[in-house]
Amino acid sequence: MSGAVVPISAGTRGSRILEQWNAQRRAERAVAAQAGKFHRNFAGAAVSRLTASMASWSGSVNSDLDASLVILRARARALCANTELGRRFLSLVASNLVGADGPRLQVRALTDAGKLDTGINNAVEAHWAKWAKQADVTGRMCFAEMLEIVATSAARDGESLVRLVRNRALPYGLGLQLLEADRLDESINQVLRNGNVIRMGVELNAFGRPLAYHVRTSHPGENYVSVKPGVERVPAADILHPFVIERAEQTRGYTWMHSVLVRMDMLHGFEEAAVIAARVGASKMGVFKKSAEADPNAGLELATGRDESTGLPQMSAQPGEFIELPAGYELQSWDPDYPHQNFESFLKACIRGVAAGLNVAAHNLSGDMTDVNYSSARIAEMSERDYWRMRQRWLINAVVMPVYTEWLRTALANDALTFESGLTLPAAKIPAMYARLLDRSRFQPRTWAWVDPLKDVEAAKAQIGAGLSSRTQVAASQGREFEDIVDELKAEQDKLADVGVTLDNTPAPAAPPPPPPNEADQ
């Protein structure tokens, strides 16, 4: 019958072909093994007993996450909740990415004449600061505090969810709702009829661009819910899904701690066992050993109590107490010597490995500055700050600017942006002003104090004098705006002049230019 499958039986021509194919495959594997043995290709790809435990196949990042996403998230949360290093890492993420006040909005829109439009710039910055104090729809957090949750959630869980809530009843018509990554249903994986796919709860088009998110209506780990949680399809325009992309075609984020989870857990268990051993060693316990000739009732005279489980006699010693043992009894003390002298060096080596996996300086992660000098601290701080700047850029691009873009749109649409005079922009000017403001708005993340302020100031002065830098650039490196500094200096000088006070370090006012020569005199 046409199209039927005929089984291959022994002795048939098909079985001989199969045997030849198997022999050819065995020969190819032998050649490959021989090539690996003599390192004719990459030595790292050699297959031998020494490399048998190494990976030999790699799937897509999404395939790897299918079986690992939930487990990675749970283990990272446990370590951050129960270990000192995990807790410290989250605090480093929050302080270095967000800081005390969060990224600062700087608007530099220009007028038609090419000058700074001070009125509109100051108005937008003031209204943004006002909205940021009440950005949370629950009313519990300001925008900077919400950014701390987003940053630490991304570091610990690998990702976060920020829902944009548009409602005219909210301040400026916009609010934010934070959701945990568990809300994004990773069990939904299917191909849709229109050619789109849903991968771990994220609906993607043919190019891999998110179109919607399939979000659980309640947290899957919640104990008390009124109804069984369902799944809601939320358009991508209403959800921000910030996570660090480390591989192409990656759909979900995974914890930044993934490479150190095992070591951190082992290290925590080791420290716990060492503390228990030290406590046992500090107890200085001992036992009484009796010979065959000892009086069995003599031990009762030494006892001050009995063990509740065994009923055997026990004795507790008091400080400075000496006793005489009965005949046939001998005291055998147990004095464990732990932790031993190499404990500290071994522990520091382990912490350095964890710090390397987290891309932070070991002394910042542990808080131990005993082996740190000025030069080593400066090198470590500069390297670590470069890493934090990368993460600051990610946070601003993934969360802050999208939120600002939507806030500006809704604020203009709701006539919520007013000037000092109380007027608003005419409707006809809103589209052009919206584009102009977006083009001239940026966020300045937190900066760090100079390691050696005097030397760094002298270096900045030398660069400015040589034309290799500018005052604007130096001010920006400190998280300041040069225009604000100039305004502050001008206000100080005016105030001092009004009250008739002259300070030694106050810049003297510039001398007026000489009058032009009189043509008649010439």
Within the chain, how many helices (H) and strands (E) appear?
15, 14
Q: Is residue 509 part of a domain?
A: no
pLDDT in tens, 335-350: 666 777 788 888 899 9
Residue 3 predicted with pLDDT over 50:
no
Beta bridge partners of 162: 178, 240
Averaged over 20-37, what is the pLDDT? Answer: 68
Please check whether residues 130 and 178 belong to one and the same domain.
Answer: yes
H-type alpha helices, 362-444: 362-366, 374-395, 401-413, 430-439
Q: Is residue 2 part of a domain?
A: no
Which one is predicted more confidently, 227 or 77?
77
pLDDT in tens, 100-148: 899 999 999 988 888 888 888 999 999 999 999 999 999 999 999 999 9
Please check whether residues 171 and 259 belong to one and the same domain.
Answer: yes
Axis crossing angle, helix 261-283 with helix 84-97, rounded to the nearest 10: 130
> Above pLDDT 70, what percent of the chain?
83
The pLDDT score that the predictor gives to residue 8 is: 47
Residue 370 predicted with pLDDT over 90:
no
Please check whether residues 34 and 171 belong to one and the same domain.
Answer: no
3-state SS, residue 210: strand
Helix (H) or strand (E) holding 214: strand 210-216
pLDDT in tens, 282-318: 766 667 777 877 777 766 666 666 666 776 667 676 6
Which one is predicted more confidently, 242 or 502?
242
pLDDT in tens, 213-241: 999 999 988 888 767 779 999 999 999 99
Please check whether residues 422 and 442 belong to one and the same domain.
Answer: yes
Residue 2 predicted with pLDDT over 50:
no
Of 446, 58, 79, which is closest to residue 255 (Cα–Cα)? 79
CA 285/CA 209 separation, integer angstroms: 67
Please check whether residues 252 and 177 belong to one and the same domain.
Answer: yes
Domain end, chosen from 427, 446, 465, is at 446
Averaged over 182-197, what is the pLDDT? Answer: 94
Q: Is residue 337 part of a domain?
A: yes
CA 183/CA 172 separation, integer angstroms: 27
Q: Is residue 146 part of a domain?
A: yes
Please check whether residues 390 and 279 belong to one and the same domain.
Answer: yes
| Structural domain count of the chain | 3
pLDDT-derived band at 457, boundaries 50, 70, 90? confident
Main-chain dihedrals φ then ψ at residue 184, nearest 5 degrees: -80, 110
The pLDDT score that the predictor gives to residue 303 is: 66
The pLDDT score that the predictor gives to residue 454 is: 75
Please check whether residues 384 and 420 belong to one and the same domain.
Answer: yes
pLDDT in tens, 229-279: 799 999 999 999 999 999 999 999 999 999 999 999 999 999 888 888 888
Please check whether residues 67 and 102 belong to one and the same domain.
Answer: yes
The pLDDT score that the predictor gives to residue 305 is: 66
Which range of residues forms the domain containing residue 362?
58-184+241-292+333-446
Please check whether residues 125 and 246 belong to one and the same domain.
Answer: yes
